[in-house]
Amino acid sequence: TTRSLLILPGDGIGPEVMAEVRKIIDWFGTQGLAFEVSEDLVGGAAYDAHGTPLHDDTMAKAQEVDAVLLGAVGGPKYDALDFSVKPERGLLRLRKEMDLYANLRPAQCFDALADFSSLKKDVVAGLDIMIVRELTSGVYFGEPRGIHKEGNERVGINTQRYTESEIARVARSAFELAHKRAGKVCSMEKANVMESGILWRDVVQEVHDAEYPDVELSHMYADAGAMQLTRWPKQFDVIVTDNLFGDLLSDLAAMLTGSLGMLPSASLGAPMANGRPKALYEPVHGSAPDIAGQGKANPIACILSFAMALRYSFDLGAEADKLEKAVEAVLADGLRTADLLGEEGTTPVSTAEMGDAIVAK
């Protein structure tokens, strides 16, 4: 079997955390598990080289490989650029053209970090939830959009728009996932104030009743969901929600487990000819310009994203377990990057030291 992987480190801390994943890929290579790895530019790095945040050749490569692993894009250097060439556009194009409609964001609490959470230990200890965020539609893409002049003032416009089939396919992803987990899905929208929310609730219920009646389905307003996620997150197993609410709720869930630097994600689309789903794996965090270039970034989110790739794209569940256990063991030993330390002033380890320790385990 060939296992092809396209690595797109991107900007800021992207290349720093990806260098640690490379060490792990190399280690698997020494164990006889080879990956066909290619590397390319995305985001600001691609704009600097080609004048576009994603070259057509890179896009074509992404469509061919078994999995894409991306670091992060963006940074202050590119903030003034026109929207059409902003670094984020490179990532949005990948997601859109690969049609990655289901974004999987696990929020898992490693025991060694339960004390670090901003919530009480018993609220987060053993937490294991999965937020499924619709990723290719909704208010980030809806038309009309833009800033228009109306009389004497400017008006900023975005449109939330969902079709039935867009809702149904992401609902199926959530129900399929629930089958492999605790068999529970909570769907979140704002059916009280949004038309798209009313349709969302109806379609999720219809897909459930017709195809997944065995899954326990509940519905919740997304604002109440935010409240419940901090009050007692363990009530949830799989949460399915739209693009905008999923963006917010998954960042909130990230803080339940300690740091954005711990949170991996997978974005899956329809199956390819070889049966593997189109897939892009990336840490939830961004390019962190405030700490870029200082060796401070936590590489674990990116490393755990690779673990998800092992599991969902390459059918290497045992190897994914092994990698996750190495991460857990290193944390249990007390190793912490700066983002995982409170104010106490314990000495943090660097990005590279954390990567080396995980490889050693």
What, of ligand NAI, Mg ion, none, does residue 74 touch, CB below 5 to 8 Å by kind?
ligand NAI
Within its chain, how far is the Cα of 174 from the centroid?
15
| Catalytic-labelled residue, pool 251, 315, 322, 361 | 251
Nearest to 327 by CA among 353, 355, 347, 308: 355
| Catalytic-labelled residue, pool 247, 278, 281, 312 | 247
Q: Is 80 annotated as a binding residue?
A: yes
Interface residue with ligand NAI among 21, 46, 91, 127 (CB under 6 A) is: 91
Cα–Cα distance measured from residue 210 to residue 142, given in angstroms and rounded to the nearest whole number: 29
48 is catalytic: no
The answer to the question of residue 336 lying near ligand NAI (CB under 6 A) is no
Spatial contact of 277 and 271, defined as CB atoms under 8 Å apart: yes
Q: Which stretch in 70-78, 326-334, 342-350, 352-360 sits in contact with ligand NAI by CB under 6 A? A: 70-78
What, of Mg ion, ligand NAI, none, does residue 290 touch, CB below 5 to 8 Å by kind?
ligand NAI
Provide the β-strand partners of residue 197. Answer: none
Interface residue with ligand NAI among 5, 297, 331, 335 (CB under 6 A) is: 297
Backbone angles phi, psi at 214, to 5 degrees: -75, -15
Q: Count residues binding ligand NAI (CB under 6 A).
A: 22
Token pair in block for residue 222: 């997304």
Spatial contact of 184 and 160, defined as CB atoms under 8 Å apart: no
The answer to the question of residue 42 lying near ligand NAI (CB under 6 A) is no
115 is catalytic: no
| Catalytic-labelled residue, pool 190, 212, 237, 312 | 190
Within its chain, how far is the Cα of 189 from the centroid?
20
190 is catalytic: yes
User: What Rg do the C-alpha atoms of the chain give, in angstroms?
Assistant: 20
Nearer to ligand NAI, 127 or 288 (CB): 288
Interface residue with ligand NAI among 103, 298, 305, 313 (CB under 6 A) is: 298
Nearer to ligand NAI, 91 or 119 (CB): 91
| Catalytic-labelled residue, pool 61, 96, 140, 234 | 140
Cβ within 8 Å of residue 283, ≥6 positions away: 17, 71, 72, 260, 261, 263, 264, 265, 301, 302, 304, 305
Cα–Cα distance measured from residue 285 to residue 18, given in angstroms and rounded to the nearest whole number: 13
Q: Count residues binding Mg ion (CB under 5 A).
A: 1
Nearer to Mg ion, 242 or 247 (CB): 247
251 is catalytic: yes
Peptide bond into 144 cis (omega under 30): yes
Sole residue written with tokens 């690779």:
306
Token pair in block for residue 70: 């991306």
Shortest approach of Mg ion to residue 346 CB, angstroms?
29
Counting every residue written for the chain, the total comes to 361
Spatial contact of 258 and 341, defined as CB atoms under 8 Å apart: no
**Which residues, numbered 210-229, are part of the site for Mg ion (CB under 5 A)?**
none
Binding site for Mg ion (CB under 5 A): 247
Q: Which residues make up each annotated binding site for Mg(2+)?
A: 223, 247, 251
Q: List interacting residues with ligand NAI (CB under 6 A).
A: 13, 17, 72-75, 88, 91, 260-261, 282, 285-291, 297-298, 301, 339
Catalytic residues: 140, 190, 223, 247, 251
Write out the binding residues for NAD(+).
75-88, 286-298
